[in-house]
Amino acid sequence: MKTRPALLALLLVRCAGAAAPAPSPAASPAPAATTVPAAEGSGPGPAVGDPLPAFQAPDQDGKRQDFETLRGKNGLLLNFNRSVVW
């Protein structure tokens, strides 16, 4: 059984309600800053939950690498970039 008396709780909840009134035009979430939609997670390429497509390529030392040779015990961070400098 909770120690909080129901009456007190009700009272406090009501107080809280008074301090934060039901959404009004003034209280509704104002666009405080430029909010951009979460584009990432979607977009081209495999999606979250998909198996990573198989791949194999040489690294800078000429060693053939694939998912199994690259991964750690908790997985792999695989990054695609346009070039070595950007």
Partner 1 sequence: MELAGQAESFRRRGIGVASVIPEPAATIKEFATKHGLGYPVLSDADAAIIRRFGLVDHTFQATGDLVGKDIPYAATFLVDEHGVIKEKFFEQAAENRRTTASILVLQGEPGTGGQEIRAGHFTLRTSASNAEVAPGQRFTLVLDFELEPKHHAYAPGVKGYKPLEVQLDPDPVFEVHETRYPAAGTYYFAPLKETVPVFQGRFRITKDVTVAMREALSRFKDAAEIPATIKGTLKYQICSDVVCYPPATQQLQWTLRIRKWVR
- Closest by CA to 56, choosing from 68, 46, 44, is 68
Say if strands 64-66 and 56-58 run parallel, antiparallel, or are unpaired.
antiparallel
- DSSP conformation class of 47: P
Tokens matching residue 69 = 């040779």
> Is 25 a residue that touches partner 1 (CB under 8 A)?
no
Footprint (CB under 8 A) of partner 1, residues 67-86: 67, 70-86
> Is 26 a residue that touches partner 1 (CB under 8 A)?
no
Which residues of the chain form contacts with partner 1 (CB under 8 A)? 1-6, 8-10, 12-13, 15-17, 19-20, 29-30, 32-55, 57-63, 65, 67, 70-86
